[in-house]
Amino acid sequence: MTELKPFPKGFLWGGATAANQCEGAYDVDGRGLANVDVVPIGKDRFSIIAGQKKMFDFEDGYFYPAKGSIDFYHHYKEDIALLGEMGFKTFRLSIAWSRIFPKGDELEPNEAGLQFYENVFKECHKYGIEPLVTITHFDCPMYLIEHYGGWRNREMITFYDRLVRTLFTRFKGLVKYWLTFNEINMILHAPFMGAGLYFEEGENVDQVKYQAAHHELVASALATKIAHEIDPENKVGCMLAAGQYYPNTCNPNDYWKAMQEDRENYFFIDVQARGEYPNYAKKKFERLGLDIEMAAEDLTLLKENTVDFVSFSYYSSRVASADPNLTDTTAGNIFASIKNPYLESSEWGWQIDPLGLRITLNQIWDRYQKPMFIVENGLGAVDTPDENGYVADDYRIDYLREHIKTMNAAINEDGVELLGYTTWGCIDLVSAGTGEMKKRYGFIYVDRDNEGNGTLKRSKKKSFDWYKKVIASNGTDID
Ligand code: BG6
């Protein structure tokens, strides 16, 4: 048996989902259309999520997986009961903005949307599960994109303010842990998905992205302020798509390149956790000739309302090289990286690096000294169920076990402060990157395929009982 020192008392073990990847019911109970609905599976997906190809509504000849997804909207009781059976301490889920404000700029919220989430949170508490709520997980009402241009427009801060006030007030006492924007750095790589940005021909793309980023950063600080005012018990976190860059060689130029790549991502968290634009970012804006409009009060708001904790997703480390001729890249979480010859890869080419998680935890801890929360980690794989829907997913167990070991070492050997761990896609759901159903992460198998066929029946995989045991032993029994 692998002997691990115990995780801290009260460690929040659980799993994570996002509204658009699991709820379905895209037009039910007054929900408005959102960017995430109109992103189809298939070859055009990436150019749409990157804001290069315009698709603002459903078009013939495409399949839109988020419309139905795994229909968590109508299965939430059954699903949360299964999470409860596994002993989850926390469940990360997100709010679909357009269920609460269908167009986004209304003055009054949609009661049916609020009621749905109230029911979900109450259901979690029935099993002693603490909800961990992402306010915005790649989610923006289409109306706000068409009429305001998404996050490029400062008005978005007003609409977000209204959204968060509504949520913090209505769910006071039901939700304590909040994340403002999922993987905020994705605005640079998947701007339509991350911020509702579509670029017109000839636009200065960097100017638009960083202006939109500023609006999100201000909105995030404002949300932190409002959360604390409404309920001092609230804990608000930022969220980074993390994964340390390694230099491809010990050539100083490679190290310098890796540092620059890391800064591109840490920039967002530097602002959210330290409350200031870092000098390297100001210099970069100067170099690129960007002029980011900021209101007089923005900088004070950022300074006075830093986050309570830093959360992140971790799937892999990344590699950087200063050599422009090095083109041997491999797929990763939205952005590709140079291939690391020391690592194995998943079926989707994402490289597997458990030690990279310990490295990332230490880097983030050294940089911010704020409590951390790993809110996504896991293996996307093809599962082959038997006739009862059972999957012997030892490969998933192995992946998670190795990451839990290094997470344990980071806590017990290095002394980082970690609040919890939610594995990605604890129940199978639609992939954000590819739109596929067959890229599965869950402990619970859902009978649905890439074309939307299937009974939606839920069944336990082998990893279900394994994770139950991990949680019950507070991470000491991971065999
Ligand atoms: C993160 C997202 O990027 O990675 C999730 O926050 C996403 O929404 C997850 O699903 C895994 O990526 P993918 O592309 O395998 O779904």
Is the separation of the CB atoms in 47 and 456 below 8 Å?
Answer: no
pLDDT band of residue 29 (cuts 50, 70, 90) is very high
Of 397, 392, 383, 395, which Cα lies nearest the Cα of 448?
A: 383
Report if residue 5 sits inside a domain. no
Q: Would you say residue 74 has pLDDT above 90?
A: yes
With respect to residue 329, please indicate whether it lies within any of the assigned structural domains: yes
CA dist 240 and 262 (Å) reads 11
CATH number of the domain residue 19 falls in: 3.20.20.80
The total domain count for the chain is: 1
Name the catalytic one among 23, 130, 376, 436: 376
The number of the ligand 1 atom at minimal distance from the alpha carbon of 431 is: 16
* Token reading at 12: 């929040």
Which residue among 193, 240, 312, 376 has the greatest number of ligand 1 atoms within 8 angstroms of its CB, and so is best to mutate?
376
- How far apart (Å, rounded) are the C-alpha atoms in residues 393 and 459? 13
Instruction: Quote the pLDDT of residue 221.
Output: 98
How much is the average pLDDT of 350-357?
97
Distance 49 CA to ligand 1 centre (A): 13
pLDDT for the residue numbered 186: 97
- Provide the 3-class DSSP secondary structure of residue 151: helix
Q: How far is CA 206 from CA 50, 122, 152, 189, 233, in A?
A: 13, 42, 11, 11, 38
261 given a catalytic annotation: no
Residue 2: inside a domain, yes or no? no
Retrieve residue 128's tokens: 């002693």
What pLDDT score was predicted for residue 424?
98
Q: Is 17 in the pocket of ligand 1 (CB under 6 A)?
A: no
d(C-alpha 164, C-alpha 101), whole Å: 11
Q: Is residue 86 part of a domain?
A: yes
Domain that holds residue 295: 12-472
Looking at the domain assignment, is residue 3 inside a domain?
A: no
Closest protein CA for atom 7 of ligand 1: 432
**The predicted structure's pLDDT at residue 305:** 98
Query: Cβ(380) to ligand 1 under 6 A?
Result: yes
Strand 337-338 and strand 329-330: the pairing is antiparallel
Question: Residue 456 — pLDDT band, cuts 50, 70, 90?
Answer: very high
Predicted confidence (pLDDT) at residue 333 exceeds the cutoff of 80: no
pTM of the model: 0.98
Nearest CA to 290 among 197, 204, 207, 199? Answer: 207
Find out whether 443 and 381 touch, Cβ atoms under 8 Å. Answer: no
**In-domain check, residue 479:** no
Using the 8-state DSSP alphabet, how is residue 270 labeled?
Answer: I
Whether the predicted pLDDT of 328 surpasses 90: no
Cα torsion for 315, 221, 214, 300, to the nearest 10°?
A: -140
Predicted pLDDT at 337: 83
Split at pLDDT 50, 70, 90, the class of 114 is: very high
Q: Is the model's pLDDT at 2 over the cut of 80? A: no
Beta strands (DSSP E) in 299-433 are: 309-314, 318-320, 329-330, 337-338, 344-345, 351-352, 372-376, 418-424
Residue 1 falls within a domain, yes or no? no
Q: Tokens representing 150?
A: 């998404």
State the DSSP code for 274: I
Which ligand 1 atom sits closest to the C-alpha of 138? Answer: 8
